[in-house]
Amino acid sequence: MASESKTETATDSSSSNGRIGEVVLDVKDLKTYFVTRWGVVKAVDGVSFNLRKGETLGIVGESGSGKSVTSLSVMRLVPSPPGHIVGGEVYLQGENILDLSEKDMESVRGSRVAMVLQDPMTALNPVFDIEDQVGEAMKIHEGLKGDGLKATVIDMLRKVRIPAPDIRMKDFPHQLSGGMRQRVVGAIGISCSPAVLIADEPTTSLDATIQAQYLRLLRELQEDTGVGIIFITHDFGIVAKMCDRVAVMYAGKIVEQGDVRTIFNNPIHPYTEALIKSVPKMEENVERLYAIPGNPPSVTNRPSGCNFQPQCDGSNPDCVTQEPILVEEGPEHWVAYCAPCKDTHGCKWFPRDI
Ligand SMILES: Nc1ncnc2c1ncn2[C@@H]1O[C@H](COP(=O)(O)OP(=O)(O)OP(=O)(O)O)[C@@H](O)[C@H]1O
Ligand SMILES: [Mg+2]
């Protein structure tokens, strides 16, 4: 998506929600590519968004659209090689962290920006007990030790509702239930009161009850600490419950971004409409669930111009030569239009029978 001057405005405007404060993370035109033997994978290809104190931004999109690589890029944890951040800026509390040395970045990770991963077993080290793992970041970043550290670990575990935390902190990860492990990972994430917490599908492995408890917990932690949360998910139900704003990703780019109500009630991009329509609803008596027609373009062989060409009904020479641009359709509501569709605001990208 071509970045144009309006992108700047999208990241600078303020919210009417009193709970939400200043911008803590400002990502501008981020590009992360993987150089593979099959070609260059443009996993993140010009992504811009921001996040404010106390706000939750949802990032949604199909598998492979670049959600996780976006968050790994913000953490500067993209595996390299083959991955490289090839462009853009990531301002964390006003500082471009892409300019920091790896050593300086180590002191940023965990303390100012932290991440909660989908699979708690991957995030937790099986050979250390919970006390060691929850305490590690506070030991490194805040210099806590001894009884002070122990008391803070117990307090963190209590906050995330681990029963008998003074006893359970001696457990190893395999001795906890899945829900408890996920809550421990949550405790590690917020242990140093980061300004930004990135949660990459943190509830996928949880059952519905534990999922609801975990989401409530994240909300409470946000109210207590004012942490800005980036919530990556496939689940529009969670977006509706958790998020203030949503960014919809497709093939490494954001195609629509806006306030959660606007995105649900008035999506403009046909891809957003299609994603919302593809969520199964209990009350609907349909024979077949809706599926988005066609496939996204190959990751190593994206078309020039508009990425939607493989799934698009329209055909126009401009689709091949001109990249979509972001247009502000309403307050903080940004939509990517390809050249032929921009003037009419009538997209031909997808079949309109959705
Ligand atoms: N280490 C890697 N080497 C090569 N390509 C990679 C690597 N990691 C990610 N990619 C590619 O980058 C693209 C974006 O991947 P990413 O993991 O961000 O998708 P995602 O939107 O998080 O998907 P999901 O919903 O399945 O988690 C994909 O095409 C993926 O194959
Ligand atoms: Mg992912």
Place of tokens 């990249």: 323
Sign of the CA dihedral running 157, 159, 161, 166? positive
At residue 9, the pLDDT reads 35
At residue 344, the pLDDT reads 56
| Structure tokens, 198 | 């990135």
At residue 349, the pLDDT reads 55
Query: Measuring CA to CA, which residue among 117, 127, 131 is closest to residue 174?
Result: 127
223: Cβ contacts below 8 Å, ≥ 6 apart = 19, 54
SS3 351: coil
**Terminal Cα distance for the chain, rounded:** 24
How far apart are the CA of 62 and the centre of ligand 1, in A? 11
* CATH domain 5-112+194-342 topology: Rossmann fold (3.40.50)
How far apart are the CA of 43 and the centre of ligand 1, in A? 6
| Structure tokens, 220 | 């409470």
At residue 343, the pLDDT reads 61
Taking the CA of residue 61 as reference, the ligand 1 atom at the shortest distance is: 21
What residues does each domain of the chain span?
A: 5-112+194-342, 113-193
- Probe residue for ligand 1, chosen from 30, 37, 65, 118 as the CB with the greatest number of ligand atoms within 8 Å: 65
Q: How far apart are CA 216 and CA 332, in angstroms?
A: 26
At residue 284, the pLDDT reads 61
At residue 93, the pLDDT reads 95
Q: What is the pLDDT of residues 133-169, one digit of tens each?
A: 999 988 988 889 999 999 999 998 988 888 999 999 9
Query: Measuring CA to CA, which residue among 77, 12, 21 is closest to residue 50?
Result: 12
Regarding the beta carbon of 326 and ligand 1, being less than 6 Å apart is answered: no
At residue 227, the pLDDT reads 93
How far apart are the CA of 342 and the centre of ligand 1, in A? 30
Q: What is the pLDDT of residues 16-40, one digit of tens each?
A: 456 778 999 999 999 999 998 888 9
pTM: 0.86
- Probe residue for ligand 1, chosen from 62, 69, 85 as the CB with the greatest number of ligand atoms within 8 Å: 69
Tally the residues of the chain: 354
* CA-proximal residue: ligand 1, atom 9 (nearest): 69
How far apart are the CA of 346 and the centre of ligand 1, in A? 31
How far apart are the CA of 19 and the centre of ligand 2, in A? 29
Taking the CA of residue 44 as reference, the ligand 1 atom at the shortest distance is: 14
Q: How far apart are CA 328 and CA 336, in angstroms?
A: 9
Taking the CA of residue 70 as reference, the ligand 1 atom at the shortest distance is: 18
Regarding the beta carbon of 64 and ligand 1, being less than 6 Å apart is answered: yes
How far apart are the CA of 234 and the centre of ligand 1, in A? 14
Sign of the CA dihedral running 333, 338, 343, 345? negative
Compute the radius of gyration of the chain from its Cα atoms: 21
Residues of the chain with pLDDT under 70: 1-18, 118, 120, 205, 280-293, 313-315, 339-354
Regarding the beta carbon of 34 and ligand 1, being less than 6 Å apart is answered: yes
At residue 346, the pLDDT reads 53
